[in-house]
Amino acid sequence: MTARPVILTGDRTTGPLHLGHYAGSLQARLARQDSHDQYLLLADSQALTDNAQDIGKVRRAVIEVATDYLAVGIDPAKTTICLQSHLPALAELTVLYLNFVSVARLERNPTVKEEIRLRGFGRDILAGFLCYPAAQAADITAFKAVAVPVGADQLPMIEQTNEIVRRINAAAGRAVLPEAAAVVSEVGRLPGIDGRAKMSKSGGNAITLSASAEAIAAAVRAMYTDPGHLRATDPGRVEGNVVFTYLDAFDPDRAAVAELKARYAAGGLGDAAVKRQLEAVLQDLLAPIRARRRALAAAPDHVLAVVRAGTERAQARTEATKRELVEALGLFRL
């Protein structure tokens, strides 16, 4: 058997996952379980970089996210689910890499810059946030991941990781670390049910994977459509209409969606009818996930055992990389 390429991805543990995660990443992860040696990092340390004031949320989300993974069909026999804070090699490589990147370079990172702007941190950003690209480089390289799924806006992060890789390899005099390739998702980001660009639990515009049948129905009823489409007989706009965006993302019957779009655009199809179709699709999608989630919630020891076993596997891999790096760089080894 040929070695499957190593891919690293994961989620900051700040809350349960939602439909946006399903469309943007979970589906792709399910599809890669046989083709890739896939590691899913429960990024609790990284979650602290801007949630140090609410550690309880970060802690509780560890098991929530792991449960979501298993509920959607991640198979721990194929994919390794592991906990960032329990992989000391990641912290050790982070501290090492900080000696191979300048403050000015970290400040120039466009992702960091943009996040600083969005969050209004200014000069008072926490050091952990500024240093986050070095921590991400540590994550990626400790697993020797050659593929890293990212949004298009995160390409500079991968570039910065590879800069550090090249510096380390230059210091070692050989290619001890592989460069990573960004895997940019073709799926656009799923908007919130209110039409805002980003679905988020804190934004109150998300449908979580554990949503009840009633919550799904209510969310679809409240969903943003075309504010100019007042009567069913009027022509309606499909672009920017969240209901159609969701149908594109989740309805497996492409032809039916295309027909609905044509009828809606021409006039003669009411929002209620389109929403009925979407609700049916979402209920079908989420019912088995919710059922598995419920079964898993009744067996918390099982989820914990999965995370523990995956973390042990990840420890072995990341410790091996650290030892190799110590050797290659000529650091002292007791």
Q: Which residues bind a copy of itself (CB under 8 A)?
A: 13, 44-45, 48-49, 52-53, 55-56, 58-59, 62, 83, 85-86, 88-89, 91-92, 94-96, 98-104, 106, 123-131, 134-135, 171, 304, 307-308, 311, 326, 329-332, 334
At 282, the amino acid letter reads L
- Work out how close the CB of 245 gets to a copy of itself at its nearest, in angstroms, rounded to a whole number: 35
Smallest distance from a copy of itself to CB 208, Å: 20
How many angstroms separate the Cα of 107 from the Cα of each of 89, 117, 155, 261?
25, 12, 16, 45
Helix (H, G, I), strand (E, B) or coil at 147: strand
211 vs 306, which CB is nearer to a copy of itself?
Answer: 306
State the minimum distance, in angstroms, from the CB of residue 150 to a copy of itself.
22
Judged by beta carbon, residue 59 or residue 254, the one nearer a copy of itself is 59
If the CB atoms of residues 67 and 245 are measured against a copy of itself, the closer one turns out to be: 67
Comparison of 197 and 304: residue with beta carbon closer to a copy of itself: 304
**Rounded to the nearest whole angstrom, what is the least distance from the CB of residue 325 to a copy of itself in the complex?**
11
d(CA 260, CA 290): 28
Q: Looking at this protein, which amino acid is placed at residue 29?
A: R
Residue 318 C-beta: closest distance to a copy of itself, Å: 11
Looking up tokens 């702007």 gives 117
The string over 26-61, giving b where at least 16 C-beta atoms fall within 10 Å of a residue's C-beta and e elsewhere, is bbbbbebbeebbbbbbbbbbbbbbbbeeeeeebeeb
Nearer to a copy of itself, 98 or 249 (CB): 98
CA distance 86 to 109: 27
Residue 43's SS3 state is strand
